[in-house]
A and B are shown apart, each in its own frame.
Chain A
Amino acid sequence: MRNFLKKIQDNKEFIYFDGGMGTYLQANGLKSGQLPETFNLDRPEVLKELAMAYAEAGANVLNTNTFGANRLKFPMDDPTYPLDQIVTSAVKNTAAVRDAYKKANPHRDVFVALDLGPTGKLLAPMGTLDFEEAVSIYSEVVRLGAEAGADCVLIETMSDTYELKAAVLAAKESCDLPVFATVIFSENGKLLTGGEPKGVVALLEGLGVDGLGVNCGLGPKEMKPIVAEIAKAASVPVIVNPNAGLPRVEGGVTYYDITPKDFAATMQEIATENPGVIGLGGCCGTTPDHIKALVDKMQGIRANPVIPCEDTVTSSGAVHVVLNEKPVIIGERINPTGKSKMKQALREDDLNYILNEGVTEEENGAHILDVNVGLPEIDEPSVLKRAVYELQGISSLPLQIDTSDFIAMEAAMRIYNGKPMINSVNGKQEVIKAVFPLVKKYGGVLVALLLDEEGIPTTVEGRMAIAEKIYAAADSYGVPRKDIVFDALVMTISTDSAAAKITLDTVRAITQTYGACTVLGVSNVSFGLPRRDLINTTFYALALENGLTAGIINPSSKAMKSVYDSFLAVRGYDNNCVSFIGGYADSISAEAELKKIKESGVVTSDTSGNTGTSPAVDDRSDIAKTPLGSAIIKGLKENCARLSKEMLSSGTDPLDVINSYIVPSLDVVGKGFEKNTIFLPQ
C-alpha cells in the first residue's frame, strides 16, 4: 500500500479516519453483552452501510470491525464464530465498500484499516498474559487481515505500553502494510499504566510505526494539551481520533454530547495549532455527520508538516528520560565485573540480589539502570532476559541492556517494556552488522564505543573518525542519529597520564561537533590508584563540564552523587537550587564527617571499597633487596631488562633468573596490588 504511505508521509493533505461504530450497532440491534464482531457474519449489511456512510462523509480510512477480534474471545475452533471467519469477513465487508465507493469516485483515496484493540488481559508480571503469547495473538489476526486484503493496520485504544509493543511488533513481523498506533490517555495526560506522551512516542517510533497518536477516552477539547505534547515529541505523522466528548449513560444508553459543528471546530484548532497532525477522525460517539462536518471544516486548509523532534529519549513503561535535557545518572552496579557477591548470585541464579541492587540504585538517584550479567559460565541470553523482565516488574526506571552477546541483546530488547538503552555498538563492522538491525527493529538509544578493528585511537581525531563511521552506519540502517550516544572511552590514568585528557577532549568534541549525547564509565579512570574516589569525583566534574550527558556511576557513592548534584546547581539545571537544598540542607561537610570519625575511632570505607587511610607499604622481603627484584617491584622497565641481561651474560642460569628473581618479585607486586599497597604506575 505504497500510495497510502506516500500520502501520509507527504504530510500535505489531511487523511480522514472514520468515527464511532458502537452506538450505530446498538441502534441496529446489538444487545448488551453481545460481541460486536459477531455482526461481521450475522449482519454484514449493517457494517457496510456504516462504512459507506463514512466514505461518503469523506473518510479516507475505514476501520474493520475487529477491535476485539482475537482468539481469547473467538477461538479458531468456535463452531459459530471462528476467528478466521470473523477477521476475514470484517476485512472483506469493508473492502467491498472501499471498492464500490472507489468505482463511483475514482479520484478519492479510500483505504481499509485492520483495526486492533487491546486483548482485554493485562500482561505479566502485573497480569497473567505472557508477552510472547500477546504477540502471537495479534500476529494471528494481522496475518488473517492482511491476507483478506487490508491496506494498513490501525492499533488503537491501547493503555498499556507493553501490550502496545506486542501489537506493533506482531504487525511489523506479520505483514508489510503500513502500521499506525493510537493510545488512550486519561485526563491527567497519562496512560492508565503511567506512561506519558513523550515516552509513548519514543517507544512507537523506535518500533517503526508509520503514524501515531491518540484516540478515545476524551473529547477533542480535553485532548488538546495531550496532542500538543505528542506533536512536539513526534517525528512521524500524528493521528487524532477523539470521542464526541465525555460519555454520559442514561437508562443503559451511552450518549456523547458534542455536536458535529463543535467537534469540527475544535479539530480544526488541533490541526492548525500543531505540527504534523495529519490524521483526523473520531472515536466513540462520533458519527458520519461528525466526520462530514470535520472534512468540510478543513476544506482549503493545508496540513502542517511534521517537524522532527531531535530529542534523545529512552523509556520504560511508565517513565521516560530525555538525555539531552540535562545530565543523568546511569547506575553501574548491576554488573558482575569485580563483584564477587554478584558473580556468586548469578551463578546461583539468585536474581533477587540483582533486583536489590536495582532498587538501591533507584532510591539513590539513578535515572537509568545498566544491566550487565555477563559471566562466561552462565547462559547469558536466558539470564539477561529474565533479569530485564524481573527488573521491570520492580523498578519503573528505563534500563540499559549491556552485553556483547547479540543473542542475549535481542532476547532482552524484545521483552523490554519501552525503548531501552543498548550498550553497545562500536566501529567494528562485525558488531555494526549485528547490532544495528536489532535497534532498527526494536528501537533503542544505542551507546557507540569509539573503537574499531584497529583498537582504541589515542587521539581525539581518531575517536571522532570512528564516530563518523558509526553515524554513517546508522544512516545506512535507517536508525536516527539522535538515537546514537557516544562513549568516549575512559582508560585509567595509572597506565597513561594522557588518557583522561583525550577522553575529556573527545566528549567536548562530540558535544560541540554533533550536539550528540555522551556516556562514560567514569570510575575506570582511577583503576590501579589509591583513593579512587578523589580521582573519580574530579574526573566526573570535568567530564560534566565538557558536556557529558550520562555518567555510568555508582549512585550510592555519596561523593559521586554530590558532584552530580552540585554540578546541576552550579550549571543552572537545578532551578533555585531546590533539589540541592532539599538533598543537602541537613548534611554535614566532609571535614565535619572526618572529625566525627576520628572522635569515634572508626575508619570507614567509602563505597568504592577503598579505605580512607592508606596502610604502610609492607615488608617487601629479601627479594626487594636484590637489584633485579627491586627494579621489578618499583616498575623500572629499562632497569629490569638491563639487569636481567647482565645476570645472563655473567653466567647465571636463565631458569634461575626466572624462578629465583622474576617470579618472586612479581609475586610481591601481585600481593601488593591486592592489598592496595602497590599501584599500577609503580
Chain B
Amino acid sequence: MQYGLRRIGKIPFDINRRELYIYSGYRGKNVPDEPVEKLIDECLAELDEQADPKAVLRTEAIVRRSPGDFSIGDFAVKSEALGKNLFGCHAAILLGATLSTSIDLLLHRYSKLAITKSVIMQASAAAYIEAYLDAIMDQLREELKPEGLSLCPRFSPGFGDFGTEYQPAFLEAVDAKRYLGISLSGESQMLVPTKSVTAVIGIKGDNHA
C-alpha cells in the first residue's frame, strides 16, 4: 500500500436498487410501482449525465495514544467508536467525495417544482454516491489484497462519538475545498454540495488481525 494523497474521478459502478428503494421509503414487501420505477430510471439517467463524482483519499499511519485517542497522519481524533472501528488497523484512509454542485441544482429544482421527483432524486443521489464509494473501496480492496491487507467499513463524522465537529479538520486534511469544492454550510456543519461524504476507512493486515 502507498501512503499519501490520491485523487479518483469517475469510475464505473452499479447502483444498488434495493438500497435506493429503502432510501425512498420502501421497505419489505412494499415496492415501487411502475410510475415510480420510471421516475427512478429518469433520476439515475440525469445523475449519470450531470454528476461529476470526485474523491480525494489520504492514506496515513495511525498513531495511538489510547484506543480512543489517536491520530491519522496529523488528523487527531478522540473517539471511542471510531477507535473501535479501527481496532487492529495500522493505517487508515481519510476519504472525501462529492457528486458536485450540479446535483444540488437538480435537487433544488425538483424540490421547488416536482416534489415527488425530488424525493426520488434525493434517494437516487444518495444511492449514487454510496455506489461510487463502494466502487472505490472495491478498487482499493483489489489493490491491497496481494499485500494481505483489507478494509474496514466506512466511518463518517456524525457516527457515535465521532462528532461533526471533526468536519472542518477533516476537510482541511483532504484539502476538500480546493480539490472537491466541499465546504461547510453555516452553523449546521452540513457538507455542501449536499451529496458529499467524508469517511475514515481503516486498513487492516489480515495477518495482524
Using CB atoms and an 8 Å cutoff, list the residues of chain A in contact with chain B. 32-33, 118, 120-122, 125-128, 157, 159-160, 184, 186-188, 190, 192-194, 216-217, 246-252, 254, 318, 352, 355-356, 359, 390, 393-396
B177 CB-CB contact with A under 8 Å: yes
Contact (Cβ within 8 A) B105 A120: no
Instruction: Compute how far the CA of A192 lies from the CA of B172 in the bound complex, rounded to whole angstroms.
Output: 17
A251 interface neighbour in B60, B101, B181, Cβ under 8 Å: B60
B52 interface neighbour in A121, A184, A188, A254, Cβ under 8 Å: A188
Looking at B7, B58, B181, which has the most chain A CB atoms within 10 Å of its CB?
B181
Contact (Cβ within 8 A) A352 B58: no
Q: Within residues 34 to 86 of chain B, which ones have a CB less than 8 A from any CB in chain A?
A: 52, 54, 58, 60-61, 73-74
Contact (Cβ within 8 A) A216 B178: yes
Q: List 26 A-B contacts (CB under 8 A).
A: A121-B183, A122-B101, A122-B185, A126-B108, A126-B193, A127-B185, A127-B192, A128-B185, A128-B192, A159-B178, A160-B101, A160-B181, A187-B9, A188-B9, A194-B102, A247-B175, A249-B3, A252-B60, A252-B73, A252-B74, A318-B105, A356-B113, A393-B112, A394-B109, A395-B105, A395-B109
Contact (Cβ within 8 A) B74 A193: no
Contact (Cβ within 8 A) B178 A184: yes
B101 interface neighbour in A121, A186, A192, Cβ under 8 Å: A192
- Within the complex, what minimum Cβ distance (angstroms) separates B72 from chain A? 9
Contact (Cβ within 8 A) B169 A33: yes
Instruction: Compute how far the CA of A663 lies from the CA of B184 in the bound complex, rounded to whole angstroms.
Output: 69
B199 CB-CB contact with A under 8 Å: no
Q: Which residues of A contact B7 (CB under 8 A)?
A: 187, 246
Instruction: Compute how far the CA of A393 lies from the CA of B110 in the bound complex, rounded to whole angstroms.
Output: 11
Q: Which residues of A contact B181 (CB under 8 A)?
A: 122, 159-160, 192-193
Q: Which residues of B contact A194 (CB under 8 A)?
A: 52, 100-102
- Within the complex, what minimum Cβ distance (angstroms) separates A147 from chain B? 29
- Within the complex, what minimum Cβ distance (angstroms) separates B42 from chain A? 11
Contact (Cβ within 8 A) A352 B112: yes
B73 interface neighbour in A248, A249, A393, Cβ under 8 Å: A249
Q: Which residues of A contact B179 (CB under 8 A)?
A: 186, 217
B186 CB-CB contact with A under 8 Å: yes
- Within the complex, what minimum Cβ distance (angstroms) separates B59 from chain A? 8
Q: Which residues of B contact A157 (CB under 8 A)?
A: 178
- Within the complex, what minimum Cβ distance (angstroms) separates A626 from chain B? 55
B144 CB-CB contact with A under 8 Å: no
Instruction: Compute how far the CA of A97 lies from the CA of B123 in the bound complex, rounded to whole angstroms.
Output: 56
Q: Which residues of B contact A252 (CB under 8 A)?
A: 60, 73-74
Contact (Cβ within 8 A) B108 A249: no
Instruction: Compute how far the CA of A246 lies from the CA of B9 in the bound complex, rounded to whole angstroms.
Output: 15
Q: Which residues of B contact A216 (CB under 8 A)?
A: 178
Q: Within residues 155 to 181 of chain B, which ones have a CB less than 8 A from any CB in chain A?
A: 169, 172, 175, 177-181
Contact (Cβ within 8 A) B183 A122: yes
Instruction: Compute how far the CA of A187 lies from the CA of B58 in the bound complex, rounded to whole angstroms.
Output: 18
Top 8 A-B pairs, shortest CB-CB distance: A192-B181, A252-B74, A394-B109, A249-B5, A128-B186, A252-B73, A32-B74, A122-B192
B19 CB-CB contact with A under 8 Å: no
Given contacts A120-B183, A192-B180, A249-B4, contact A126 B9 (CB under 8 A): no
Given contacts A192-B181, A251-B73, A359-B113, contact A393 B108 (CB under 8 A): yes
Q: Which residues of A contact B101 (CB under 8 A)?
A: 122, 126, 160, 192-194
Q: Which residues of A contact B58 (CB under 8 A)?
A: 249
Q: Which residues of A contact B180 (CB under 8 A)?
A: 192
Looking at B7, B109, B186, which has the most chain A CB atoms within 10 Å of its CB?
B109
- Within the complex, what minimum Cβ distance (angstroms) separates B121 from chain A? 12
Given contacts A33-B172, A122-B185, A194-B52, contact A394 B113 (CB under 8 A): yes
Given contacts A251-B61, A252-B60, contact A125 B109 (CB under 8 A): no
Q: Within residues 4 to 19 of chain B, which ones have a CB less than 8 A from any CB in chain A?
A: 4-5, 7, 9
Q: Which residues of B contact A188 (CB under 8 A)?
A: 9, 52
Q: Which residues of B contact A246 (CB under 8 A)?
A: 7
Given contacts A32-B74, A118-B177, A192-B100, contact A359 B105 (CB under 8 A): no
Instruction: Compute how far the CA of A352 lies from the CA of B109 in the bound complex, rounded to whole angstroms.
Output: 10
- Within the complex, what minimum Cβ distance (angstroms) separates A220 from chain B? 17
Contact (Cβ within 8 A) B183 A127: yes
B134 CB-CB contact with A under 8 Å: no
4 extra interface residue pairs, beta carbon distance < 8 Å, beyond A187-B7, A318-B102 = A121-B184, A122-B183, A127-B183, A192-B101
Contact (Cβ within 8 A) B4 A393: no
Q: Which residues of A contact B175 (CB under 8 A)?
A: 247
Instruction: Compute how far the CA of A249 lies from the CA of B109 in the bound complex, rounded to whole angstroms.
Output: 39
**Chain B residue, CB-CB nearest to A248:** B4
Q: Which residues of A contact B193 (CB under 8 A)?
A: 122, 126
**Chain B residue, CB-CB nearest to A162:** B101
Q: Which residues of B contact A125 (CB under 8 A)?
A: 108
Contact (Cβ within 8 A) B113 A396: no
Q: Within residues 72 to 129 of chain B, which ones have a CB less than 8 A from any CB in chain A?
A: 73-74, 100-102, 104-105, 108-109, 112-113
Contact (Cβ within 8 A) A393 B177: no
Q: Which residues of A contact B73 (CB under 8 A)?
A: 249, 251-252
Contact (Cβ within 8 A) B178 A355: no
Q: Which residues of A contact B192 (CB under 8 A)?
A: 122, 126-128
Instruction: Compute how far the CA of A393 lies from the CA of B113 in the bound complex, rounded to whole angstroms.
Output: 12
Instruction: Compute how far the CA of A292 lies from the CA of B112 in the bound complex, rounded to whole angstroms.
Output: 55
Instruction: Compute how far the CA of A157 lies from the CA of B175 in the bound complex, rounded to whole angstroms.
Output: 13
Q: Which residues of B contact A395 (CB under 8 A)?
A: 105, 109
Instruction: Compute how far the CA of A184 lies from the CA of B181 in the bound complex, rounded to whole angstroms.
Output: 10
- Within the complex, what minimum Cβ distance (angstroms) separates B5 from chain A? 4
A394 interface neighbour in B100, B108, B183, B185, Cβ under 8 Å: B108
Contact (Cβ within 8 A) A250 B52: no
Q: Which residues of A contact B100 (CB under 8 A)?
A: 192-194
Instruction: Compute how far the CA of A394 lies from the CA of B186 in the bound complex, rounded to whole angstroms.
Output: 21
Q: Which residues of A contact B9 (CB under 8 A)?
A: 187-188
Contact (Cβ within 8 A) B4 A250: yes
Looking at B73, B105, B112, which has the most chain A CB atoms within 10 Å of its CB?
B105
Given contacts A127-B192, A359-B113, contact A396 B169 (CB under 8 A): no
Q: Which residues of B contact A396 (CB under 8 A)?
A: 102, 105
Instruction: Compute how far the CA of A186 lies from the CA of B181 in the bound complex, rounded to whole angstroms.
Output: 10
Contact (Cβ within 8 A) B105 A393: yes
Instruction: Compute how far the CA of A352 lies from the CA of B118 in the bound complex, rounded to whole angstroms.
Output: 15
Q: Which residues of B contact A251 (CB under 8 A)?
A: 3, 60-61, 73
